[in-house]
Amino acid sequence: LEEALRQSQKMEALGQLTGGVAHDFNNLLTAALANLHLMARHLPAEGQRFLAGTRTALDRAEKLTRQLLSFSRQDAVNLTVVDLGDSLRRMADLLERSVRADIALSWDIAAVPMPVAVDPVQLEMAVLNLVLNARDAMPGGGRIRIAASPGPEPRTARIAVSDTGAGMPPEVMARAFDPFFTTKGVGKGTGLGLSMVYGFARQSGGIAAIDSRPGDGTCVRIDLPLTDLRPPEPPPAPAAAAADLR
Ligand code: ADP
């Protein structure tokens, strides 16, 4: 518990700091990219080459600040009641496309309703981050299992993404949730994937944890509280919606 408290205090402080910086930075980058776009129209062919390199760098910087913002934006979350199983099943295509052919994805989703109140975009990003990490841990191929089931605590659901990859030594596991901690090298990892997962779990009233041993693979799990509310009905037909607009 003390460890969890220490971690969430650290996250909060870092979240406030990075959120402020990322927000200003993002505005500056947007302006720079817009100017670059205009400049491209007036440059001769040989200048375009340099412009392309600059744009790639700025695009990467923008992606990084966006990740930073989503990690730090604890307040602006858009909590929605969704069924966990349905949400994960809808990600099947995206996840299949995100892994190489030498990696087998398997699914194990309990056939019971699991209503959770989450930001659906963050849920997708969290699961995608876990699958990409699992992929990166298996350069020679392997298996990834995506599971969702009622959790061990009453009224909870557990998402678990496990792999047959390299696993984590204790010193990596101790810091894996820390923002900017990465072992993937400059230009490859941002060190923000797992801190985003951690932030997602917290903002949904849950908790994230890692089980891993070098050589045995890794399992990252997210335990979320189930909500009593039901997922919303599908949106009304256009005619009914129009009638409300008097
Ligand atoms: P990044 O993926 O950009 O490095 P993350 O926060 O997602 O950032 O992960 C931090 C570090 O944790 C990774 O660099 C890696 O060393 C370790 N890690 C994360 N997921 C796994 C995994 N499934 N197997 C082994 N190591 C992992």
Amino acid 145: pLDDT: 98
Mutate to test the pocket of ligand 1, among 130, 182, 197, 216 (most ligand atoms within 8 A of CB): 182
Which atom of ligand 1 is found nearest the CA of 188? Answer: 3
ipTM confidence: 0.99
Q: Whose CA is nearest to atom 25 of ligand 1?
A: 167
- The residue among 78 and 163 whose pLDDT is bigger is 163
C-alpha 233/C-alpha 246 separation (Å) is 23
Reported as a single tens digit per residue, the pLDDT across 40-57 is 888 888 888 888 888 888
Rg for the chain (alpha carbons), in Å? 21
Per-residue CA distances from 92 to 87, 108, 124, 176, 231 (Å) = 9, 12, 11, 26, 20
* CB 226 within 8 Å of CB 156: yes
**191 CB near ligand 1 (under 6 Å):** yes
* CB 90 within 8 Å of CB 96: no
Q: Whose CA is nearest to atom 19 of ligand 1?
A: 133
Q: Whose CA is nearest to atom 14 of ligand 1?
A: 182
Q: What is the mean pLDDT of the chain?
A: 86
3-state secondary structure 77-146: CCCEEEEHHHHHHHCHHHHHHHCCCCEEEEEEECCCCCEEEECHHHHHHHHHHHHHHHHHCCCCCEEEEE
**189 CB near ligand 1 (under 6 Å):** yes
* CB 115 within 8 Å of CB 229: yes
Global pTM? 0.75
Distance 35 CA to ligand 1 centre (A): 35
What is the average per-residue pLDDT within 109-115? 96
In percent, the amount of the chain with pLDDT more than 70 equals 87
